[in-house]
Structure formats: C-alpha cells, structure tokens
C-alpha cells in the first residue's frame, strides 16, 4: 500500500525567508510523487511532479522538491517566501504501475506567510 506523511500541519514563515514543507512516502513500488497547492476557494493546482527522471524537480512559482529514496522523502522547498504562497500544500503519491493515476494524498500542510 502507498501512503504519504506530511509531518507538519502548519508552517509559519516570514516573507522573504526559506520555505520547507516535509513529506515522507511509503510505497512498495517505484512511486510517482507530486505536490499540489490549494488556495482558498480554488481547485488543486499541480506545483511539480517526480516520475523517475531527475531527482531534483523544479516546479512553478520557484518551488522545487528533491526525491531521496534512501530517506523516502520528497520535501518541498522555496528559497524566499512570498505572501501569495500562503495556501494548503498536499504531498501526493501515485503508483507508477497503477492504472489511471490513482492519487493518494497526505493530510496537507497549511503555509502561513507573515509580512
């Protein structure tokens, strides 16, 4: 079975400081991993995805994540937070061999950005 654990339910940063949102995964097979973001009253938007190519993945809005198999982690980072980054972030795993991209979501991390 696949699962993801998001270690922090809330993360608070100041504008201009680095962001780190932590995610650990569990998968019996080669996983595909994603980060989605949800702004209030908006749908889930894909930030970035890892699908067995480069382990350092760059996404939209300056976010990136590194797949570390030895640590079973896929942490999301950004060098400098912006006020508009305040949102809910979901780490998601999908089994590469599962048909039709059944996504397994983490519980989410709410990112708060203060001026």
Partner 1 sequence: EPEVTQTPSHQVTQMGQEVILRCVPISNHLYFYWYRQILGQKVEFLVSFYNNEISEKSEIFDDQFSVERPDGSNFTLKIRSTKLEDSAMYFCASSEGGDRGLNTEAFFGQGTRLTVV
| CA 102 – CA 60 distance, rounded (Å) | 23
Q: Is 107 in the site for partner 1 (CB under 8 A)?
A: yes
Q: Which of 10, 29, 42, 83 touches partner 1 by CB under 8 A?
A: 42
| CA 18 – CA 80 distance, rounded (Å) | 5
Q: Using CB under 8 A, which of the segments 12-20, 36-44, 66-74, 79-87 binds partner 1?
A: 36-44
> Which residues, at least 6 apart from 110, have a Cβ–Cβ distance to it below 8 Å?
9, 10, 11, 87, 88, 89
39 vs 68 by CB, closer to partner 1: 39
Contact code string over 51-70 relative to partner 1, x by CB under 8 A? x-------------------
Torsion of CA 59, 13, 80, 9, to 10 degrees: -10
Please give the residue ranges that form the binding site for partner 1 (CB under 8 A): 32, 36, 41-46, 49, 51, 90, 94, 96, 98-108
């Amino acid at each position: 079975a696949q699962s993801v654990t998001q270690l922090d339910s809330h993360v608070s940063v100041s504008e201009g400081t680095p962001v780190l949102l932590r995610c650990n995964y569990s998968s019996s097979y080669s996983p595909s991993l994603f980060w989605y973001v949800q702004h209030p009253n908006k749908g889930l938007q894909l930030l970035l995805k890892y699908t067995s190519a480069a382990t350092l993945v760059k996404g939209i809005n300056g976010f990136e994540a590194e797949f570390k198999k030895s640590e079973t982690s896929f942490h999301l980072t950004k060098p400098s937070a912006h006020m508009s980054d305040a949102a809910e972030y979901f780490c998601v795993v999908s089994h590469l061999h599962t048909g039709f991209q059944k996504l397994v979501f983490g519980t989410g991390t709410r990112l708060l950005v203060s001026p």
